[in-house]
Amino acid sequence: MSSTHRHEFGVLSWVGLVLRALGMTCEVTADIQKAIFKSNPANRGKFISTGLWAHSRHPNYFGEIAL
């Protein structure tokens, strides 16, 4: 950050930015879905299998890794 040499915001920078945004969105969405699922007393002892959780066992971890 203290360098006087500036790098152009190129294709690789955009790919990284999009990947970070997708990772954050995936992680936050999965966490919200699980919190809503767990707040229902009828779901006590059950594992969520709807939303992002229907496609992956740990979508919040996938989002974290993407970050």
pLDDT by residue, tens only, the chain of 67 residues: 677 888 788 999 999 999 999 999 999 999 999 999 999 999 999 999 999 999 888 888 888 888 8
Q: What is the pLDDT of residue 1?
A: 61
Closest CA to 33 of 56, 1, 11, 14: 56
pTM of the complete model: 0.78
pLDDT given for residue 2 in this prediction: 77
Contact 33, 52 (CB under 8 A): yes
**Taking the alpha carbons of 47, 53, 57, 60 in that order, is the dihedral positive or negative?**
negative
Q: Output the six-digit token pair for 12.
A: 């690789």
pLDDT for position 56: 86
Residue spans of the domains in the chain: they are: 12-66
